[in-house]
Amino acid sequence: MNHSPSPQGGDVLLSVRNLSKRFHTASGPVKAVEDVSFDVGRGRIVGIVGESGSGKTTAGRCILRLVEPSEGEAVFDGVDLFKLPEKALRAYRRRMQIIFQDPYSSLNPRMRVGDIIGEAIDTHGLAKGAARQARIADLLARVGLSPEHARRYPHEFSGGQRQRIGIARALAVEPELIVADEPVSALDVSVQAQVLNLIQELQKELGLTMLFISHDLTVVEYLCDDIVVLYLGRIMEQGPSREVYANPRHPYTKALLSTAPIPDPTVRRERVILQGDIPSPLDPPSGCVFRTRCPFAIEACAKAVPPRESVSPSHSVACIRQAELATLATQKVTA
């Protein structure tokens, strides 16, 4: 049951197993994340995709213990982060960082940029005095800002520049894993590409491992090695992104991919338009949570949570009809 596809390349930095997070609200427990397992290979970028409310942000926060998980484990370099007491966790905080979606609220408006980045350095005692200043200057240069910017306040910068400051702060402690939570979705389209390129360059240059949370499938396809598709807190499909994009097996993945624009007018794609909204996580559908919006749902879908079925060694789908639907599709093509 614990089996989940591991990325090609062997060396796993982060292994998430059966992660669940329930929020207790006045109207009952909300299952934000339910039984999520995946592996992140060292140096790879794993994309977590889903609509808003799919639990992708909560999953990322749980792994960093910014939100306390309800169940499961997250084994980082051999240590289960969920079992670490706060004090021991502090040492691991240096090894994993986060980049936020909102470049405005993610920087303390009362602190100068130099102090924002400096706080990261100070917290882990990485440098002092002139060395600290040099390091701040170096980090600013690395993200495409100038060292003089250290003396300014966040409000003096544009959204894209602020996001760069956020990236510099994350890099200040030389982390191995970065959780990027929709790092470009709040930016202007013209700036998105610049910041994405920066993230990609830094990732390659520093050999970073990344968890890239996004709802933008084009971005994920461009950037990520592996992909995890979430719906209502559960994994629908996961695997190497090339495989998933070329051969999506879950009806939800298909629907998602069909909404992504293709920059080639000659390519036609069958559009699957989902009806209705994502159901309330307070009262999720029985069995397969996607069945209420699934065009292929049958009675059996309501009976039990669909088990994970392997399509290939690293590609798996949680759909009881995936094999059947796949043959149906090929029949259609050949017919």
Partner 1 sequence: MAAVSIAPAPRITTLILQRKTLAIGLAVILAIALFALLAPLIAPYAPNKLSIVNRLKPPSGTYFFGTDEFGRDIFSRTIYAGRLSLTVGAAATVFAGVIGITLGLVAGFFRRADTVIARIVDAMMAFPDILLAIALVAALGPSLATVIVALGIVYAPRLARIVRASTLVIRELPYVEAARALGVPTWRIMTRHVLRNLVSPILVQATFIFAYAMLAEASLSFLGVGVSPEIPTWGTMIASGRQYVGQADWMTIFPGVAIILSVLSLQLVGDGLRDLLDPRLRKDL
Chain positions contacting partner 1, by CB under 8 A = 61, 64, 66, 89-91, 93-94, 96-98, 100-102, 105-111, 119-120, 123-124, 148, 151, 153, 155-156, 166, 169, 173
Question: Which residues, 6 or more positions from 207, have their beta carbon under 8 angstroms from its beta carbon?
Answer: 42, 43
CA distance 167 to 324: 45
Nearer to partner 1, 101 or 241 (CB): 101
At closest approach, how far in Å is the CB of 146 from partner 1? 8
Residue 118 Cβ vs partner 1, minimum distance, rounded to whole Å: 11
- Local structure of residue 239 (DSSP, 8 states): E
* Residue count of the chain: 335
Nearest approach, Cβ of residue 129 and partner 1 (Å): 20
CB of 50 to partner 1, least distance (A): 20
Closer to partner 1 at the Cβ: 153 or 296?
153
Taking the least distance from each CB to partner 1, the nearer of 32 and 256 is 32
Nearer to partner 1, 106 or 241 (CB): 106
Of the pair 83, 90, the CB lying nearest partner 1 is at 90
Distance of alpha carbon 27 from alpha carbon 153, whole angstroms: 42
Torsion of CA 169, 174, 178, 180, to 10 degrees: 20
Three-state DSSP at 311 gives strand
Residue closer to partner 1, measured from CB, 110 or 271: 110
CB of 238 to partner 1, least distance (A): 25
Smallest gap, in angstroms, from Cβ of residue 252 to partner 1?
29
281-284-285 Cα angle (round to 5): 160
In terms of C-beta density within 10 A (0-12 exposed, 13-18 middle, 19 or more buried), how is residue 89 classed? middle
| Nearest-angstrom CA–CA distance, 140 and 114 | 9
> Quick count: other Cβ atoms within 10 Å of Cβ 327?
10
